[in-house]
A and B are shown apart, each in its own frame.
Chain A
Amino acid sequence: MSISNKTSFNWKIAGEAGHGVMLAAKTMARIAKRHGMQSFNYLEYPSLIRGGHQTGQVYADFENATCQAKKLDILIAYTQDSFEIHQDEITTSTVIIFNSDFGKAPQEAMNKWGKQITSMPLSSWAKETTGTTLASNTTSIGVSAYLLGLNPDICKAVFADEFKGKKELIEKNFKAFDLGYKEAKKVLKPILTVVPQKDDMILLNGNEAIGMGALAGGLQFYSAYPMTPATGLLHFLNDHKHQLPIVVKQVEDEIGAINEAVGASIAGARAMTGSSGGGFALMVEALSFAGTTEAPLVVLEAQRTGPASGVPTWTAQADLQFILTAGHGDFPRVILTPGTVQEHYDLGKLAMYLAEKYQLPVIIASDKYILESHQTMKTPVAQNHNERQSMAGKEDLPADESYLRYKDTKDGISPRSIPGQEFGLHLANSYEHDPWGFATEEGEVIASSVDKRAKKMEAILTEIPQPQLIGPEKAEVTFVCWGSTVNVLIEAIHQAKSGTMNIIHLPCLHPFPVEAFTKLAKEAKKLVMVEGNANGQGENWIRQQTDIKMDDSLRRYDGRPFYAEDLVKYANK
């Protein structure tokens, strides 16, 4: 093995639940970032607390690291079956470290890759230096740091932050790191040198990014019931609730979650809830309630493989058709489909604004793949300014009590009063209602209510995120995508020959940006839809909205994300 000219690496750790795989991978991604590299940490894990097979893999590069990569530079394996499971990812240059505390590398593996496998007692080294085998992820990282030519001080700083305030623990982990590094130096040669550059980034997953964006956008109330992969957002907000004037609560069920958020919203707080497909299904009646009462509401729909309980810890983009039409009756909504972690932050913040200004539900449709993968993004500005939108001021609430909460206006948005405001009395009614809010059965009033709410969709078109053309203006293949798929396509453009491909990424699917999308699509030589469902949900929606047919479609529905290598192969055909 020789020191290469590559400025990237692809590192993977595989073990059982309970081996510290997830923490090791996240730490590795953060170490890469601290060296100034972009990094992406992709986790695969079963719906188990102990046992099973868990992996974390980090792809890092100075130019672009937006997704996971297939071929491994380093594999750290804790279990015998890791070799069979990941055989397609191992190449003739993959350095394999096997944790010998878990036995011997299997004979078939030795036959195939014998020269590349080094057995090391990673857990024993951990026990020796820290008193517990739990720090085996630290010793693994020590070994990896040597192999990748990483700066030991930068690596150690990450551990220091991880165990902030616990001096003894930090010292022990430094020892564990040093031991791994030293032992690796005895028997291995580095495969890379990473020269540290400026680090102006943060590392976080999609859930954390949405949460951070929502907080930046003035979120005050979050209620949810735990459900993979939306639970990360609930945990994130709980972790930070002592830092800001917000209420974050776990509730009795998903129906309680959304109704609490709507109640909080009607009472004047910026509110949000979140769940995955099955939980969102329970929320649907209340979505209709938010729509008719014109209560601002943001909802995260964190898609996973369905239907029903589906495959809880695996990804999919198969709830789109459900989300587009969820909720009986006719009411306006916005559906945002962020791709990169940066976009999750931006749209988390934007959603708070749009929901309040247009007084409607804004659904953020994302998926396990990006919600639970860590990706680097530029550190956002900490100071944010959010003005209240569409609220009734004193001038809207005269003393003669003539204020009408649902009075018709040019753009359909009526100034909104909240409890506590004098002369702002009104009824927020789940029944169809007149401008005061009283229930109605009169034909004219019913129709005009529907029209008034629908008007808001026209007004909102100017403020939704537009489709993005990524890559060269002219290309042989134009991939069309929504949500997390863009992360993989961006990498594909980097890998492919210039001019092979470009991307039209849609960060908002409802209302659909017909004009902007049509303009971009017209320039394409070949339109190929890429999405994670079997029946072309995004493709069908685009066809319905624009009459534009795709020339081909790539659909994945096995719980796994797309891989850039496969998309490049397709484009080169």
Chain B
Amino acid sequence: MKITKKSIKSPIAPTWCPGCGNYGILRSFYAALEELELEHENVVIVYGVGCAPNEADFNRTYGIHGLHGREIPVAIGAKLANHDTKVIIVGGEGDLYGEGANHFLFAARGNHNVTMLVHNNWRYSLTTGQASPTTPQGTITKTTPEGLIEMPLNPIRTALANHATFVAQGYSGNFKQLKEIIKSAIMHRGFSLVDILQPCVTFNKDNDLNWYRDNIAELEDHDATDWQKAFELGSDEKEKFLTGIYYQNEEVPAYHEKLESLSKGSLVSQWTDDRNISEVIEHYV
């Protein structure tokens, strides 16, 4: 059965704060899934832990609500077990750039065909407002009363430097562009990162909706095959956050395409009740 904006809704209504950026992102996500005409049973969504990943309860799909920061390896395992499914990661930046940063680098370096949707609101909101890996330096939060000392992680450049073959930035308030980016990311051959900026109306009073409106613009006239240009555009010194696809390379085989054992079909489809290990045994005679 094909996914529609209706069929994907679970009986549980979203519990996010009114005005949360996650509502906008979810709208774009649902629309993307519907427009791609994907079958319910062929989509696996792997969620981390945070406000955004709570949508595990609002969605009706095959879902895995994993541990904080560990959704990437779960997604990789699920994809390798059945690469005929689309595997999409829904996490916060705390999950994906903090607790699970090592897994992010590894997924990019292996070009695993999973789509990483990072709900990046510059706060750990579910635990009531601490700083996150992308909070601007100097920000005052409950755990950084002297002003945040660390510099923020740069997701665009980190992804590019670790050989990611699809790198994009979105914004929760730009429905159409985000929908198109998500569609491209899901259909991309290898690893795809979509970093999605969003306000947090409850814990980020520094950057309200007006701030986001004034400081975000769409990428224009950009050749997404130009890695150098993408890296330049991803600089920390920029006037505005630019949303769009920074880099896309369809030439690189996904990880699973390079496994001989998967050339005949997905791992799960190759199950047989009968297994002969004579070729293994003869080495130990």
Contacts and interface: CB of A to CB of B under 8 A. Distances in A.
A437 B262 contact: no
B77 A260 contact: yes
A251 interface: yes
B67 A215 contact: no
Given A263-B64, A267-B81, A289-B67, A243 B279 contact: yes
A500 to B, nearest CB: 35
A136 interface: no
B276 A268 contact: no
A384 B279 contact: no
A340 interface: no
Interface string A413-436: 000001111111111111100000
A249 to B, nearest CB: 8
Contacts of B56: 427, 429, 439
B63 A427 contact: yes
B214 interface: no
Contacts of A289: 66-67, 70
Interface residues of B, number: 60
Most buried by A among B42, B79, B281: B281
B268 A268 contact: yes
A469 to B, nearest CB: 30
B271 A418 contact: no
Which bucket holds chain A's interface residue count?
35 or more
Contact of A264 (B1, B80, B85, B261): B80
A430 B102 contact: no
Contact of B285 (A202, A220, A242, A421): A202
Contact of A428 (B64, B80, B271): B64
Nearest to A217: B275
Nearest to B63: A427
A263 B275 contact: no
Interface string B222-233: 000000000000
A284 to B, nearest CB: 11
A266 interface: yes
A13 to B, nearest CB: 21
B74 interface: yes
A419 B267 contact: no
A255 B70 contact: yes
Contacts, number: 214
A358 to B, nearest CB: 19
Nearest to A215: B277
Contact of B41 (A293, A382, A421, A428): A421
Contacts of B259: 247
A246 interface: yes
A285 B67 contact: yes
Contact of B268 (A259, A418, A426, A428): A418
Contact of B261 (A245, A253, A379): A245
A269 B268 CA distance: 6
A251 B73 contact: yes
A260 B62 contact: no
A218 interface: yes
B127 interface: no
A545 to B, nearest CB: 31
A221 B275 contact: no
A263 B260 contact: no
B42 A255 contact: no
Interface string A215-237: 11010110100000000000000
Nearest to B48: A430
Nearest to A437: B63
Contact of A245 (B79, B267, B283): B267
Interface of A: 161, 202-204, 208, 212, 215-216, 218, 220-221, 223, 239-247, 249, 251-253, 255-257, 259-269, 271, 285-286, 289, 293, 379-380, 382-388, 418-431, 437-439
Q: Which 9 A-B pairs have the closest CB atoms?
A: A263-B77, A263-B74, A259-B73, A267-B81, A260-B77, A264-B77, A382-B278, A269-B81, A252-B106
